[in-house]
Amino acid sequence: MDSTILTTVIMLGVLAATLAVVLYIVALKFKVAEDERIGETENILPGANCGGCGYTGCRAFAEALVKADDISAMFCPVGGNTTMTKVAEYLGKKVEKKESEIAVVRCAGSCKNRPRVNEFDGAVSCAVMAATYSGDTDCSYGCLGKGDCVAVCNFGAIYINGETMLPEVDEDKCTTCGACVKACPKLIIELRKKGPKSRRIYVSCVNKDKGAIARKACKTACIGCAACRKACAFESILIENFLAYIEPDKCRLCRKCVEVCPTGSIIELNFPPRKPKIEVQEQKKDNINSDITTN
Amino acid sequence: MIKTFKRGGVHPPENKISQKAALERIVPEGIIRIFISQHIGAPAECIVNKGDKVKVGQLIAKANGFVSANVHSSVSGTVLGIENVADYQGIKKTAICIQVEGDEWEESIDRSPEINRDLSKTSEEILAKITEAGLVGLGGATFPTHVKLAVPKGKTVKAIIINGAECEPYLTSDHRVMLEKGEELLIGVQLLKKAVNVNKAYIGIETNKQDAIDKLTKLSVNYNGIEIVSLKPKYPQGGEKQLIKSITGLEVPDRALPVETGCIVANICTTFAVYEAVQKNKPLFENSITITGKNLKVQKNFIVRVGTPLSKLIEAIGGIPENTGKIISGGPMMGRAISNMDAPTLKGSGAVLFITGDEAKRGIKSNCIRCSKCVAACPMGLQPFLLYRLAELNMLEELKENSVHACIECGCCLYTCPANLPLVDYIRLGKTRAMKLVVKPK
């Protein structure tokens, strides 16, 4: 009995040692020389593997960064400017600073604003619903609320608000990887400039119907009345197909458009509460000045 | 011997409650809206302007290319304009809106009730008339008929198969056409035979329509080379590939057209439309629509002008019953729910079906237990449970490898699934994605 165990141990031991030597030799002989910088660059990257950079993962992005001569067009949305500066320093290449962005849901058609006219009984998926019909409200452009954007987000940064049944973005968690933008069959989600102190203004509607039809379907629809364009001093508002769009590069965050919008489809975020009318003027001037300086 | 196809298929309760209702006409009035795309292929090109006067049967949109079909006015009146109109599913499409004024027909259309038995026209003449009349397959797919009849070079056609299976539960419009327009139908079959130069035609009818089988068998004595085939009721027997299998025993190869087996399949209503187009010079501007449902007081089979608002049909049956849960365009298996009741009818609309509230609800979804009922039910020999999962995960390459393109979306898998999984919903999505047919809005 004892001798059986002993023989087994010796035989397996010898076998293991021989194979180890063989493997060692093979490993030496067929060693693939890999650029060390790829591994190092990958360590600098956040390791989210979200694909927001346009590559299949952090490893692929690191390879591309090492290979490319000019990396100014490449950007890691999760790590942002800090990560990209570090990468550039390590690789000795140049990057441009990019303004931080955030995902914005351009639909304010909550259950209150946009009454449901039928009930969808199929698979719980915006993609299936969009392929089936125009949606459970009279607005054929708005959010379907089945949460395809929530399902694809790797960071838990988007969730459906139980009261409005619309997706909302958690500013602290959103990395602007763009997964939700791609998943939305109605193209409602947009990556926009985060803005100074996270202050931003956008049109929260994508309805391209004529004003009367849009308004009938949803109380907060953009009706294309152009009041905002008239009020805007910086020509930052475009109106096409009865739908306004605020160009983030031109907008100076004066909030005049928000005041004049008859349906309340223009939304301002993270601004301090407005003060009584007379003081508002001064306050706004201050805002503009401070914004310019921070820019 | 009663024939049928072997692989897969289900037999849901037939519920053909409207089969006794004779065809009735609906008088057009008010505003009629006619889509310029009522077929598979390129949309037709509008050739009328706002303010133009049109007659019944006048060409208002011209076929744009080979795979396209002419569209004719179904009423006489004034063109109000070309607008974006929401269809059954609320999706907006270009349509020509016409204000109805009187009922003045094009003079070339033969409106006499006599049956025209003249079969002297040549193959080219018949095909030209079919193209001219804007005929499309009325079985549901609305594929332009002249394209279907254009036999690819190097292929030979041996037989025409007429699809009188009407395997979907509830639907009865084909049944009524067979009973009421039997003779015209057989002349239509002869014309189709002549158009593609064959001597043989089969009309496949399920045995749940015995009166139609008897009638057509009696009539077909006078016509050469038409055989009426009794089929065992089974869904989806009306599918092109299944019908060919049932009648001839031949299998349409993967990724090939049915013409590969030497057969061309046409629907009953299409065949009747061929008769009208060739013998009566009448373009396709009206079709038969079944209005049925267990909760309706009256069951109807209407002949409706294309572009009539659905609400008008519903008015004719006395409004929507209170306990309606879902209204479907087409049959309960393949039809699609209607969300816009003001939508105009199309060339291919075959039925409007009312389902009661309790029946309309889907069962509660649970997990797949790998019982393989869906695999047994699939008439195309696919693995629906696998395709479903792959589509859910958006694995397009794997979907292609598992032949998602072969799915005919018949819904047999969903019908048998004990876990109530939304199989077809996802497979259809995966299929369109894998075949790159999904177009995102601009």
The number of beta carbons lying within 10 Å of the beta carbon of residue A284 is 17
User: Whole-angstrom Cα distance, residue A246 to residue A260?
Assistant: 14
B217 or B2, higher pLDDT: B217
Measured in degrees and rounded to the nearest 5, phi and psi for residue A192 equal: -120, 160
Question: Residue B212 corresponds to which tokens in the numbers above?
Answer: 């139609």
pLDDT at A291: 44
Give every CB contact of residue A255 below 8 A, 6+ residues apart in sequence.
A201, A268, A271, A284, A287
Average pLDDT over residues B119-131: 92
Q: B337 to chain A: which residues are within 8 Å by CB?
A: 121, 132-133
The four Cα atoms B429, B435, B439, B440 give a dihedral, to 10 degrees, of 60
Domains A36-91 and A100-193 belong to one CATH topology? no
Chain A contact present for B336, CB below 8 A = yes
Contact B339 A125 (CB under 8 A): no
Chain A contact present for B420, CB below 8 A = no
CATH class of A36-91: mainly alpha
Cα B258 to chain centroid distance, Å, stands at 17
Contact B441 A141 (CB under 8 A): yes
pLDDT classification of B442: cutoffs 50, 70, 90: very low
Q: A132 to chain B: which residues are within 8 Å by CB?
A: 89, 336-337, 425
- Sign of CA pseudo-dihedral B271, B276, B277, B282: negative
Residue of A106, A132, A146, A213 to mutate when probing chain B, most B C-beta within 10 A: A132
For A124, name the nearest residue in chain B, comparing CA atoms only. B422
- Residue contacts between A and B (CB atoms, under 8 Å): 54
Question: Residue B396 corresponds to which tokens in the numbers above?
Answer: 């397009």
Helices (H), chain A: 2-29, 36-44, 58-67, 80-91, 126-132, 148-152, 179-183, 211-217, 227-231, 256-260, 277-294
In this structure, what DSSP letter does residue A66 have? H
Residue of B339, B409, B413, B437 to mutate when probing chain A, most A C-beta within 10 A: B339
CATH class of B123-279: alpha beta
Q: A117 to chain B: which residues are within 8 Å by CB?
A: 339
* Three-state DSSP class for residue A266: strand
Q: Identify which of A117, A131, A186 has the shortest CB distance to residue B432.
A: A131
Report whether pLDDT(B240) > 70.
Answer: yes
**pLDDT tens per residue, chain A (295 residues)?**
678 999 999 999 999 999 999 999 999 998 888 788 888 889 999 888 888 888 888 999 998 988 888 888 888 888 888 888 898 888 888 888 888 889 999 999 888 899 988 888 888 999 999 988 988 888 989 999 999 999 999 889 999 998 888 999 998 888 888 899 999 999 999 999 888 888 889 999 999 988 998 999 999 999 999 999 999 999 999 999 899 999 988 888 888 999 999 999 999 988 888 776 554 444 444 544 444 443 3
Average pLDDT over residues B24-47: 90
pLDDT digits (tens, 9 = 90+) for B65-121: 889 999 999 999 999 999 989 999 988 899 999 999 988 898 899 888 888 888 889
pLDDT classification of B154: cutoffs 50, 70, 90: confident
Question: Are A64 and A74 spatial neighbours (Cβ–Cβ below 8 Å)?
Answer: yes
Closest CA to B351 of B176, B92, B135, B134: B176
Contact B362 A185 (CB under 8 A): no
- Sign of CA pseudo-dihedral A280, A283, A289, A293: negative
For B392, name the nearest residue in chain A, comparing CA atoms only. A125
Contact A141 B425 (CB under 8 A): no
Chain A contact present for B170, CB below 8 A = no
Q: How far A192 CA lies from chain B's nearest CA (Å)?
A: 19
Report whether pLDDT(B275) > 90.
Answer: yes
User: Which residues are A244's β-sheet partners?
Assistant: A239
SS (H, E, C) B315-351: HHCCCCCCCEEEEEECCCCCCEECCCCCCECCCCCCE
Report whether pLDDT(B439) > 60.
Answer: no
User: Which residues are B329's β-sheet partners?
Assistant: B336, B352
pLDDT more than 90, % of chain B: 64
pLDDT digits (tens, 9 = 90+) for B279-319: 999 999 998 899 999 988 889 889 999 999 999 989 888 88
Q: Identify which of A118, A123, A131 has the shortest CB distance to residue B339.
A: A118
Q: Taking the model in full, what pTM does it have? A: 0.84
pLDDT digits (tens, 9 = 90+) for B348-359: 888 999 999 888
User: Would you list the domain boundaries of chain B?
Assistant: 28-101+285-359, 123-279, 373-434
Give the relative orientation of helices B268-279 and B173-180 as an angle to the nearest 10 degrees.
50
Spell out which chain A residues touch chain B, with contact meaning CB-CB distance below 8 angstroms: 117-118, 121-123, 125, 127-128, 131-136, 140-141, 185-187
Cα B129 to chain centroid distance, Å, stands at 20
pLDDT at B435: 85
pLDDT at A280: 47
CATH 3.30.70.3280 fits A100-193, yes or no: no
CATH 3.40.50.970 fits A195-295, yes or no: no
SS (H, E, C) chain B: CCECCCCCCECCCCCCCCCCCCEEECCCCCEEEEECCCCCCCCCEECCCCCCEECECCEEEECCCCCCCCEECCCCEEEEEEEEEECCCCCEEEEEEEEECCCCECCCCCCCCCCCCCCCCCHHHHHHHHHHCCCECCCCCCCEHHHHHCCCCCCCCCEEEEEECCCCCCCCHHHHHHHHCHHHHHHHHHHHHHHCCCCEEEEEEEHHHHHHHHHHHHHHHHCCCEEEEEECCCECCCCHHHHHHHHHCCCCCCCCCHHHHCEEEEEHHHHHHHHHHHHCCCCCCEEEEEEEECCCCCCEEEEEECCCEHHHHHHHCCCCCCCEEEEEECCCCCCEECCCCCCECCCCCCEEEEEEHHHHCCCCCCCCCCCCHHHHHCCCCCCHHHHHHHHHCCCHHHHHHCCHHHCCCCCHHHHHCCCCCCHHHHHHHHHHHHCCCCCCCC
Closest CA to A254 of A294, A281, A275, A221: A281
Q: B438 to chain A: which residues are within 8 Å by CB?
A: 131
Average pLDDT over residues B127-156: 89
pLDDT at A1: 60
Q: Identify which of B89, B339, B426 has the shortest CB distance to residue A128.
A: B426
Beta strand B23-25 with B300-305: parallel, antiparallel or unpaired? parallel
Chain A contact present for B358, CB below 8 A = no
Beta strands across the sheet bearing B263-267? B226-231, B200-206, B159-164, B263-267
Structurally, at CATH architecture level, domain B28-101+285-359 sits in: Roll (3.10)
Contact A122 B429 (CB under 8 A): no
Amino acid identity, residue B11?
H
pLDDT more than 90, % of chain A: 39
Return the percent helix, strand and coil in chain A, to nearest 5: 40, 10, 50
The span from the first CA to the last CA of chain B, in angstroms, equals: 55
pLDDT at A290: 45
pLDDT classification of B256: cutoffs 50, 70, 90: confident
Q: How far B149 CA lies from chain A's nearest CA (Å)?
A: 31
Contact B336 A133 (CB under 8 A): yes
Closest CA to B145 of B35, B271, B286, B285: B271
Closest CA to B311 of B29, B23, B81: B29
Average pLDDT over residues B249-276: 91
User: Would you list the domain boundaries of chain A?
Assistant: 36-91, 100-193, 195-295
